[in-house]
Amino acid sequence: MELYQKTIHEINDLLDKKEVTVTDVTQAVVNRINAVEKATDAYLSLQTEAALEAAQGLDAELSGRAKRTSLEGIPYGLKDNMCTKGILTTCASKMLYNFNPPYNAEVYDRLSEEGGILLGKTNMDEFAMGSSTENSAYKKTRNPWDLNKVPGGSSGGSAVAVAADTAFYTLGSDTGGSIRQPASFCGVVGMKPTYGLVSRYGLVAFASSLDQIGPFTKDVEDCALVLNAIVGHDAKDSTSLNLEKTDYTQTLKQGVKGLKIGVAKEFFGEGLQPEVRKSLEDAIAIYKTLGASIVDVSFQHLDYALSAYYMISSAEASSNLARYDGIRYGFRAEEYSDLVDLYKKTRSQGFGDEVKRRIMLGTYALSSGYYDAYYKKAMQVRTIIKADFDQVFGGCDVLLTPTAPTTAFGIGEKTSNPLEMYLTDIYTVPVNIAGIPGVSIPCGLDNNGMPIGMQLLGPILSEETLLKTAWAFEHESGLTNLKAPLGTEV
């Protein structure tokens, strides 16, 4: 196995034993990027020269001390909606084509303090609005399992970088499934933590009450390692939870004997691809052999989740994106007659179709005479769905569901039908509405060799339980660090 194909914990073993250097590891990933990036288009911008310089500096520093942190010297990628001082942060939008942030996102600072080596900023749907990474203003990212398929979205570039071995881990943001759905499509592990567990400071806002940063990794143990680094209170984020530090690796291998795993029929209804259903049934059987008990649970109001999500997220997007007016920073139309014309032309030319669609929907929902009928009603539904989850978790510890109804679909297959595209998030959006954690892990392949994802959900702050449940399946099934059939040169 090549260095770039290994997991974080495998690389840690090699680095701690001094069998390889940080420069060796970084150079291996840079070589991999040079070989396959033109085919996958996972990155919007690359910092490979700076990464190699940082690796050499770290090697010199590490030669003088015995211990290193678990992410020190590990190359990674960052979704391009997280601020990086001195490095363009475009949100894959023409509107921010020249935005050089004056400060860093908190998660970037934390990874830098850990000694992480940034390889580049990954592609995404514009302002994180989309489910296929086809809404980027700059390029279309391709799924390494089949270059004619989408990687999912909106964090498609981050998922592909891990799946194609062009990063050991990446960070994405999840507003309605934007980490878990691409993780499912690309055969990697993707986690959306409890809302407020990871600081959103420096994350360019889409829908502030739903957005959450989380990791993409090659296996569950790596997910725990990255989570250890990015979780923690941040006074700069008013929604950040102030909790005692947790080491998510400590309980990882405790097993699931006696654990109650809930299965809800509402997640296994019409539209679920047969191979996805079969893989999940096989996963349930594995959990039974591991000593977990499977319980039937039910939701009363889950059918309303998708509608409520798109109403709430679009309303918040309308408000958050009002700042892009061509005055302070970012794109500005070249020709205009007055201030109002400047606003109109800047926003018309700077935003893509999907962003405009959601701004219009959100503005309408917040407008006088419609606020009560749409936005307020959606917020009431949100409260009901939270209560549904509370009731379900009264009878089980973990909920097992599909991550997505199908495996990855073809590039261009759903772009002409936004509603069909929105339905790909049907199993992930309720999680953001409730603010609970969720993780997607690979649980098989379909008849065309495309990855299938299983989603594990738990009550607020149940990350430890979710990770040990995920690790137990991964260890028993052998579905870990899956390798996409992408050649060494494309």
Q: Which amino acids are annotated catalytic?
A: 79, 154, 178
- Give the three-state DSSP class for 363: helix
Q: How many residues are listed for the chain in this entry?
A: 490
Instruction: Transcribe 103-160 into DSSP letters.
Output: S--HHHHHHHHTT-EEEEEE--SGGG--SSS---SS----BTTBTTB---SSSHHHHH
Q: Residues 402, 268: contact at Cβ < 8 Å?
A: yes
Pairwise CA distance, residues 1 & 368, whole Å: 61
Buried b (16+ CB within 10 A) or exposed e, 347-379: beebbbebbeebbebbbebbeeeeeeebbebbe
Q: Residues 141, 40: contact at Cβ < 8 Å?
A: yes
Pairing verdict, β 398-402 and 451-457: antiparallel
Report the Cα–Cα distance between both ends of the chain, in Å, rounded. 19
Pairwise CA distance, residues 113 & 137, whole Å: 32
What's the number of CA atoms in the CB half-sphere (13 Å) around residue 176?
A: 28
Q: Which residue has the tokens 């790909």?
A: 424
Pairing verdict, β 169-173 and 75-79: parallel
Pairwise CA distance, residues 172 & 244, whole Å: 24
